[in-house]
Amino acid sequence: MDFGKLITAMVTPFDKNGKVDYSTAEKLIEYLLENGSDSVLLAGTTGESPTLTDDEKIDLFTMGADKFGKKTKIIAGTGSYNTEHSVKLSKRAQKAGVDCLLLVTPYYNKPGQPGLYEHFSTIANSVDIPVILYNVPSRTSCNITAQTCIELSKIENIIGIKEASSDFRQIAEIIRSTGEDFVVYSGNDGDTLPMLSIGANGVISVASHLVGNAIKDMIESFLSGDIEKSANLHSWLLDIFYGIFITTNPVPIKKGLNLAGINVGGTRLPLTDMSDDEIEKFKHILNKYDLIKV
């Protein structure tokens, strides 16, 4: 199953009362598909998965599959630090019609590598749809080693990994030692071009909410052999790649969308709004890309 080169980890829109705004979520998916995204990830970290209820997640997955199943691939974030809970949610997501699951490394309880293998294999074996692993040690304090990933890649429906470790030795080993049909996505926008250079397949992006077409152009330029154009685009995009992390994701990307006229609401506690100083700095970054006018 081809999920494309650019997958957007979509924010979850909330209304003024903090409830999930499914109507805006539908419009946002349409917007992303019109602006470079090949597939869409719902209820990932950027989608504030820790503060969404299971029913909210399933309603998002159902809306995505029902409304866009013929246009794109819908990936569902169903991972957690509780294997049994993840199995139940993954089964419900499959029933809702999603195309793939994204399973984040268990956080807080910090299992060892044997535990990680058992966790991911148990969830993958409970469903019949593809699974992409998600390694993000900066958030989970737990790393999927190259060897564990390689072993997990032998499970038929574990088809890829979103790698946000920025450990290029580890990433290169995964690319070298897994099959040609195992996909490796960058989990950091700023790592996308360097990872493409060692054989990665694309990116699961946050910045693509605002500069999706430019990211797609960077990837396609690299793959077509126009390395200079790709490198120039990478350099030009660096300010937004890192600017959207001026404070904890997804606070800035939601602020950026709101300032650009795409109203997705705020974040749920414990996340709070940016400081006035952060907002001013961020506005100057957005202005560089003609997303707003300061």
Domains of the chain, with CATH numbers?
Answer: 6-230 (3.20.20.70)
Q: pTM to 2 decimals?
A: 0.97
pLDDT of residue 93: 98
**pLDDT score, position 293:** 66
Annotation marks residue 117 as catalytic = no
Ranges of residues in the chain with a pLDDT under 70 are 293-294
* Residue 217 confidence (pLDDT): 98
- Cα–Cα–Cα angle for 201, 175, 125, rounded to 5 degrees: 85
Residues 6+ apart with CB under 8 A from 144: 105, 113, 116, 133, 135, 152, 161
Exactly one of 5, 57, 117, 134 is catalytic; which is it? 134
Residue in this structure with the two tokens 């469903």, named with its chain if needed: 127
Residue 294: the pLDDT is 60
* Helix (H) or strand (E) run with residue 40 in it: strand 39-42
Are 40 and 8 spatial neighbours (Cβ–Cβ below 8 Å)?
A: yes
134 noted as active-site residue: yes
What are the distances in angstroms from CA 39 to CA 4, 108, 288? 7, 29, 27
Give me the catalytic one of 5, 73, 162, 216. 162
